[in-house]
Amino acid sequence: MNGDARTPIVFFGHGSPTNALETNMCTQRWGRIAQTIGRPKAILSISAHWCTRDTSVTAMTKPRTIHDFGRTLPAALFDIQYPAPGAPALAERIRDLLAPTKVQFDNSWGLDHGTWSVLLKAFPQADIPVVQLSLDATKPTSWHFDLGRRLKPLRDEGILIMGSGNVVHNLSLMDWDLHSEPYDWATRFNNRVKDAILNNDPESLFDYESLGRDAMLSVPSPDHYWPLFYVLGARHDTDRVTIDPDHVQHKSLSMMSVLFDDRPLTA
């Protein structure tokens, strides 16, 4: 990647951790997204799977691979390691950018499956430094968006800002048949979020609790919803938007991924 170019940003709809064991349409497209991005200096991941009552950032040199899912999933998942290095200097930079919000340096978490199950397919060499930023579960969506805005300068420093979640995430109503038709409410809310992204209108999505039954079924808890807003906060008006994949699978799980990139198009 050209050192003078602004780094793209990306939101991945990460879906099931079993994607780490598969080669499918979504994992192939994650690989293409990474090829489009190029090689960043480091990656800041905001994963749905690290919720705290503060704002924390991993600050260790060798983050562990966390297998944060139940034993009902294939045993092979527990053997996967993603040994990317950490980036303590990036953690310090994030702390400075987010001031006056207090940021705790964390040396115990690591990389959870919201991060490594995607990066395993996007950057399989695991040789790019990665840090994770936690989600403060006591704060509203607008607050998470504001943190994304404050992180925006990282794009001019070669850092990839990556959100990992799902804009429709209702596990209690899932159907494991991959070919099941999505619920109407899931498709409608997925499209509503997509339209807001394309119209650069993130504010219309902040108060999702007021958006009706479709939203409440699609976002029964906001942990998988919030990572999108760090990416939307780091967006520039000049960014081109690419949404791919863009579908709901298992009836109630959106795989929508969104890339923002304002670098000049090459012939």
Return the number of other C-beta atoms located less than 10 Å from residue 125's C-beta.
8
Helix, strand or coil for residue 164?
Answer: strand
Helix axes 141-151, 226-233, angle to 10 degrees: 40
Instruction: Kindly state whether residue 62 falls inside one of the protein's structural domains.
Output: yes
Structure tokens at 72: 């009902």
* Three-state DSSP class for residue 160: strand
The answer to the question of residue 38 being in a domain is yes
Q: What is the pLDDT of residues 140-180, one digit of tens each?
A: 999 999 999 999 999 999 999 999 999 999 999 999 888 89
pLDDT at position 99 is 97
What is the model's pLDDT at position 263? Answer: 95
Q: State the pLDDT at residue 4.
A: 61
Omega of the bond leading into 8 within 30 degrees of 0 (cis): no
Question: For 193-244, what is each residue's pLDDT tens digit?
Answer: 999 999 999 999 999 999 999 999 999 999 999 999 999 999 999 999 999 9
Domain containing residue 225: 9-261
Q: Give the 3-state secondary structure of residue 107.
A: coil
Interior angle at CA 190, CA 130 and CA 220, nearest 5? 75
* CATH number of the domain that residue 147 is part of: 3.40.830.10
* pLDDT value of position 90: 98
Tokens encoding 27:
């994992």
Domains identified in the chain, total number = 1
Whether 184 maps to a domain, the answer reads yes
The string of pLDDT tens digits covering residues 109-148 is 999 999 999 999 999 999 999 999 999 999 999 999 999 9
- What count of other Cβ atoms lies within 10 Å of the Cβ of residue 140? 14
pLDDT, tens only, 33-80: 999 999 999 999 999 999 999 999 999 999 999 999 888 889 999 999
pTM for the structure as a whole: 0.96
